Amino acid sequence: MHVRNKSLTPLCGSSRVARLLVPSAACTLALSLSVWSSGAAAQAQGPNPPPLAMGLIVKLKESQTPSVVRLRPSVRPSDAAPSQRARLYAAANRKRVGFLIQKPTAFGAHVIHSGQFSSVDEAEAEAARLRQDPDVAWVLVNRLEQPLAGRVNTVAVPQSGGVYDDHFWLKDRTARPGVARFATAWGRIGANRSVAPVVTAVLDSGVLPNDDFSGRLLPGYDFVSEAQYARDGNGLDSDPTDLGDYLTSGEKQSNSAFSGSSCQVGNSSWHGTMVTSMLAPPAGSGFFGPGILAPLPGAVVLPVRIGGVCGAAISDVIEGMLWAAGIDYQGSPPANPNPARVINFSYGGSGTCRTGSATDTLYRQTVTALESKGALLVAAAGNGDGSVGVVGPIMPANCDGVVAVTALRKDGTKSSYANLIDGSLSAGYLGIAVAAGEFVSGSPGVTENLHLISDTGASTAVARYIRPDVDGTSFATPQVAGAAALALAVNPGLTVPALRQLLRDSATSYTNTYTTYAGSAPLCSSVNRANCRCDTGTCGVGVLDADKLVELALDLATNSPQPDFSAPAVAATSFVPQRGNGSLAGGGGGGGGGGSLEGVSLLGLLAALALGLRQRFKSGRP
């Protein structure tokens, strides 16, 4: 993998999409990304800017009665591509909805937009009109989801010497009731005779090359389809390198795609690289120290780029999720040969999957499709207004079947910024929490945030790696995703429902007795949404316990062994964005874990474990 130096190309110069010249203002959509501080001290995050849109996702009614009620990602419209385009044009004309760009996407739907951003409210107004057309089945605003990091304090750290001791979130729970006990989980895995390879997909802003990722990343893909925020000049391609999600003031003023929008001027976040650094580094990592998946041999992370300037379009997110899980569709990139069993998604946006309306269709049906392929979606619950959480997770974390993750301080109280989540079965999603830091001035111990791999480049990467202090539900999410992958590694026969149940059963119950620096924090409620003491009604089923999760997975494998999960094949017959020459094409164990395993002894154990596993895989021995 290499860092490419590609220039921003205006959307209207792209030859890969068809243009339908329809008069009137167009629908557009995006969600602006968080602006993080780049100085030596973290700055308070301001209120979230208004969400943006890049057009609409439209599904026309079928001209023939479908034989299958459930919408499949591989579905192909019953009429041909020219007919679909003509019908879409006619419906838009009838309802005074203008667009310049049209391209087909998964689930037999189409993306339409003008090449410029609009507010979500403006896009929703046009969507409401288009939904009234008799030839339209459903319409979804193609919102741009945003990365869910909180604040970042860039502090340079020498690129030498293991730094495991710097990662409180990987250690045992002594005086740290909010952490996930990865250290003891690794010890339990080390005592196990074998583990299976597990792929964890990171859908994010892409990834930068780093020595700590060497041999740990699988071939990924770039799904950022629109050139004006992809920064690679060609939209979709097989290189998931992060090209930067920065926006300069000059670009904001001169580029019509950004001018007049609420897309925020700011530096590149390198968000995907930070998330990847929590998972991928092996036991011998010299800069970061071991990542969550250190006990697993070989390549373990599948990078899928879905986010660019201003965020990630829902249409790109959906395709990235489907491809990551190995769900093939006509016109897609070459089928992913390494389907993910766990998908980490640390982006999100407004809305809910709980209304039962047509606007929920894509996310709900995508989650269903992922589950059928044995892939668990783990999503960030959201960071409220940047300072105080709100009631309920954002979308897609609030969709049925998704694991929604909120953030704790290391003392086990809820981080002020983190959204409240429900732990009841009736919520539909599975809510769970884990320590992901918080900047709190003048509170010793509370300010111990996560130190992850990033780059000093304000716009493009300069390969000068640092470990900034960070917080946010973005960084709680990969802890749950990584723990789920460890459970699958010791019990590959687990289905998605079984894995969700183990996450529920293994979570540590909340307690109202905090012995560290929680002080007199109030109980969380719809009124107390800042730093507060959790219960199952406000922070999910409990605190993630990676060791207990692995223990239960091992017990199940021993007492109720199942064959390795085998995902069904999915036919390749759907419309998708054109990726060729620009012409529009249609088509269709028991025990208590052995105590604390920190510092050098743990790293030695991990190194020995990884070596032994590599030797077993090479020799073919179980």
Q: Which residues contact 282 (CB under 8 A, 6 or more apart)?
A: 212, 215, 216, 290, 291, 294, 606, 610
187-201, 263-277, 402-416, 536-550: range with lowest mean pLDDT: 187-201
- Number of residues assigned to the chain: 622
No. of helices (H) and no. of strands (E), the chain:
13, 20
Cα 42 to Cα 36, 38, 246, 612, distances in angstroms: 8, 8, 18, 42
**Amino acid occupying residue 206:** G
Distance CA 146, CA 130 (A): 26
Lowest mean pLDDT among 23-27, 231-235, 360-364: 23-27
Instruction: Give the C-alpha separation, 537 to 524, whole Å.
Output: 9
Q: What band does 562 get if pLDDT is binned at 50, 70 and 90?
A: confident
Q: What CA–CA distance (Å, rounded) separates 226 from 91?
A: 24
Q: What is the pLDDT of residue 104?
A: 85
Would you state the pLDDT for residue 382?
94
Split at pLDDT 50, 70, 90, the class of 544 is very high
What is each CA distance from 443 to 169, 448, 556, in whole angstroms? 18, 10, 43
pLDDT (mean) for 483-487: 98
CA dist list (Å): 299 to 211, 223, 602: 13, 21, 21
Q: What is the tens place of the pLDDT at every residue in 56-103?
A: 999 999 876 554 444 567 666 777 888 999 999 999 999 999 999 888
126: pLDDT strictly greater than 70: yes
Rounded-to-integer distance, Cα 17 and Cα 12, Å: 9
CB atoms within 10 A of CB 512: 10
Mean pLDDT score of the chain: 79
Please give the structure tokens belonging to residue 196: 């299976």
Tokens of 293: 């998946």
Averaged pLDDT for residues 182-208: 91
Domains of the chain: 11-144 (no CATH), 152-210+221-234+252-570+593-605 (3.40.50.200)
Evaluate if residue 154 carries a pLDDT over 80.
no
Q: By mean pLDDT, which of 240-244, 389-393, 438-442, 597-601 is the weakest?
A: 597-601
Whole-angstrom distance, CA of residue 80 vs CA of residue 556? 49
- Percent above pLDDT 70 for the chain: 74
Residue-by-residue DSSP string for 446-479? TT--EE--EE--SSS--S-EE--EE-SHHHHHHH
Q: What is the pTM (predicted TM-score) of this model?
A: 0.83
pLDDT value at residue 443:
53
Question: Helices in 412-570 by DSSP H: which ranges?
Answer: 473-490, 496-506, 536-539, 546-559
Burial label, 621 (beta-carbon count in 10 A; 0-12, 13-18, 19+): exposed
Higher pLDDT, 450 or 368: 368
Given a cut of 60, whether residue 446 has pLDDT beyond it is no
For residue 290, whether the previous peptide bond is cis, meaning omega lies within 30 degrees of 0, is no
Task: Find out whether 544 and 480 touch, Cβ atoms under 8 Å.
Answer: yes
* Residue 51 phi, psi dihedral angles, 5° rounding: -70, 150
Q: Which residues are 247's β-sheet partners?
A: 266
- Read off the pLDDT of each residue in 396-422 and give the average, rounded to a whole number: 95
Tokens of residue 464, six digits:
């000068």
- 320-357 pLDDT per residue, tens: 999 999 997 655 788 999 999 999 999 999 888 877 66
**What percent of the chain stands above pLDDT 90?**
50
Do β-strands 403-408 and 430-435 pair in parallel, antiparallel, or remain unpaired?
parallel
Least confident span in 423-427, 431-435, 489-493, 519-523? 519-523
Read off the pLDDT of residues 213-257 as tens digits, 9 standing for 90 and up: 999 999 999 999 888 789 988 888 999 999 999 999 999 888 877
Q: Which residues lie across from 430 on neighbouring strands?
A: 403
Please compute the mean of the pLDDT values over residues 165-191 and round it to a whole number.
Answer: 86
Q: Note the pLDDT tens digit of each residue in 257-308.
A: 787 788 889 999 999 999 999 999 998 777 888 999 999 999 999 999 999 9
User: Which of 130, 478, 497, 108 lies closest to 318 in space, CA to CA?
Assistant: 108
